[in-house]
Amino acid sequence: MDRKERIMELVKEGYNNVKALSQYFGVSLMTIYRDVRELEKEGKLVRKHGELKLKTLADAKEEKEGRQTCAYCTKLVDKRLEFIYHLKDGKIKACCAHCGLLIYKNIKEDQVEACMTWDFISGNPINCYSAWYVIGSSAVPCCSPSAIAFANKEHAENFAKGFGGVVVDFEKGVEAIKEMMKRGQRVELKTEL
């Protein structure tokens, strides 16, 4: 049995990440990444947010129909709200800025080549790191608490005047969403986050 066949069996048994497989076989992470990429191309494996799973009929149907699910909450991704990390070895897509900001803590910064999302007003692509976010507004276009991306601070501030929430940059947005999502804690957001 070759290594790729054994990888398929191990994923079925619960080995769901590249590091665990690397340790099992006693080979480098790059060797396992190469095998996993080949298995993905063959349509046998799916890698979502660093986790490996066997490709199901539902995954194949989604792929065929061009629908993708969020790497964080598994909702279908709406192109107008999606948040995409372009990594050295692929992409991670989130359904909205809320999930995109939560994912950031779980990826290695040196693996990120670019990050993009869409301006809520114009629909134009923007860099996630230079975007402004309205966190916790009464407008909830996707996940809650809401996080909505804007290309410029003025538009974000005007939106917050009408719908509430606070305006923050990327780093403060990551921290705010993380704090708001902690179980059992109510967080009062302040503009000086």
Question: pLDDT tens digits, residue range 115-160?
Answer: 999 999 999 999 999 999 999 999 999 999 999 999 999 999 999 9
CATH code that applies to domain 3-65? 1.10.10.10
Q: Give me 170's structure tokens.
A: 């990327």
Q: Which CATH architecture has domain 83-181?
A: 2-Layer Sandwich (3.30)
Distance CA 91, CA 51 (A): 13
Task: Give the residue range(s) of CATH 3.30.450.410 domains in the chain.
Answer: 83-181
Could you give the residue ranges of the DSSP H alpha helices within 45-89?
57-65
Backbone angles phi, psi at 178, to 5 degrees: -60, -45
What pLDDT sits at residue 40?
82
Task: Give the residue range(s) of CATH 1.10.10.10 domains in the chain.
Answer: 3-65
Amino acid (1-letter code) at residue 94: A
What pLDDT sits at residue 67?
64
